[in-house]
Amino acid sequence: MTVASPEAAPLGSYQGLSERDPRKGCPRWPAGLLLRWQRGEFVGWIEGRCGGTNLCDYCAIQAAHENARMLSLDAMEAPQPMLLVIVGTRTATDDPRPFYYGRQEVIRALRDRFGRQVEYASLCEFTTGKGRHSGGQRRPHWNVFVKGIATAAVEEARAIVRAVWCRHVDAEPEAQYVEVLQDLGAAAQYVAMHFHKRDQAPPEGWSGQRFNCSRGFFFGRTRREMRALARADLQRERETWKLLKARPELCETIDGTVDELVNELLEQRHARTWRVVSMDPHLAELTMTDRLCWVVDRPRLEAGVVTPPASEVLDARAPQRF
């Protein structure tokens, strides 16, 4: 019997994201900080994450899951015809500004023709630089989901995108893709997860946004509200998975027991209070910002850093990644 080598194993969700296992947690989280949570007499300790999607593979994975869920939930709640626009460039650069202007002009031209109802969500990724004609250079391109244009007008929209984009960006019109999107949920899941792989991550020095959308893209919700909804949905999914893993016999139930137990677990999580604890006296003077609240995603997080008593440090459990 021939045993397959690890290199020949099938690619998984995290394949190509990093040489280290990205599921081990955020490597950029300050070593001297812990997040202490408490619910009644129960106390736990975990490490947070930096949130730098251009700098951290682990945080890029988390953002990819959230982006995909945001788009998928929106597609289920407000299904409507949509176009998939893929625009790129022949220029290898780490300056995102020219491309932002090009995208702005494309959306302006589409709105001038089809109306103010045109909305978009954009995901940026890079080529690997390993192609035959790449010359080892990595070039950005954007996957843009466009709402508000009838499917019958796809050819006219394609002509507008190609003309306007190539007027402002070094690109060939024939290389710009515009087609009707048949399944936003599936496409969003594929694109959002694919573009966060390591080979498609921005090169060092890139400071542009990897996900962006117009103000009205998510029907009836702001982007912040949609991200909060996606995080809650992902948390429910995680709690359900952990519950069924711990109690596999529940897989056979159909009476709503699983939902009731998951709701109870979520209520317990929401009842936690959070505190940032410094294990290093030199970090005690740090000022916490709203960014840290985003990192731990806990509205009850106390925005202060304290140095715990020695006894509290000694009694603390080993931190858990999340």
* pTM tops 0.85: no
The side-by-side arrangement of strands in the sheet containing 177-181 is 177-181, 82-88, 140-147, 119-126, 211-213
Residues in the chain, pLDDT under 70: 1-24, 128-129, 131, 133, 184-186, 188-201, 203-205, 280-322
Question: Residue 250 has what DSSP assignment?
Answer: G
Buried-exposed string 193-204: b where 16+ CB fall within 10 A, e elsewhere = bbbbbebbbbee
Residues 104-129 as b/e (b if ≥16 CB within 10 A, e otherwise) read eebbebbbeebeeebbbbbbbbbbee
In three-state secondary structure terms, 306 is strand
Selection from 277, 290, 284 nearest residue 319 by Cα: 277
* φ, ψ of residue 46 in degrees (nearest 5): -140, 165
* The pLDDT of residue 315: 35
What pLDDT shows up at residue 74? 87
Q: Residues 260, 99: contact at Cβ < 8 Å?
A: no
Q: How far apart are the C-alpha atoms of 33 and 46, rounded to whole Å?
A: 9
Per-residue model confidence (pLDDT) at position 284 = 47
Structural domains in the chain? Answer: 6-51+255-315 (no CATH), 79-218 (3.30.70.60)
The Cα diameter of the chain in Å comes to 70
Give the residue carrying structure tokens 């850093």: 305
Among 131, 135, 125, smallest CA distance to 200 is for 125
pLDDT at 110: 97
C-alpha atoms less than 13 angstroms from C-alpha of 246 in its C-beta half-sphere: 9
Per-residue pLDDT at 283: 52
